[in-house]
Amino acid sequence: GKKVDFVSRYFKPSYGMPEDPVTGSAHCALAPYWANRLGKSRLHAEQLSERGGEIWCDMAGDRVILKGRAVLVMEGTLVI
């Protein structure tokens, strides 16, 4: 299989979604933890949901830069 630095799953049934397939916000918390534990500033993560997904996490000071594949599902303009 793939060599990744850490794996995760994220469940949120109270929001009407049993499991989030790939959760960027969770990786903003997980990446600093694993970067510190593994002594790395660049991490490769995988979320093990049914759909699954890979996220590349780069530590940049007190920020986490997330990279991954995405699909455009909607486009529009919001007028405020």
CATH superfamily of this structure's domain 6-67: Diaminopimelate Epimerase; Chain A, domain 1 (3.10.310.10)
pLDDT tens-digit map of 2-56: 799 999 999 988 888 888 888 889 999 999 999 999 999 999 999 998 888 999 9
pLDDT at 65 over 80: yes
Task: Give the pLDDT confidence score for residue 19 in this predicted structure.
Answer: 85
pLDDT at 1 over 70: no
How does DSSP assign 39-59, residue by residue?
T-SEEEEEE-SSS-EEEEEEE
Which pTM does this prediction carry? 0.78
When pLDDT is cut at 50, 70 and 90, the band that residue 63 belongs to is very high
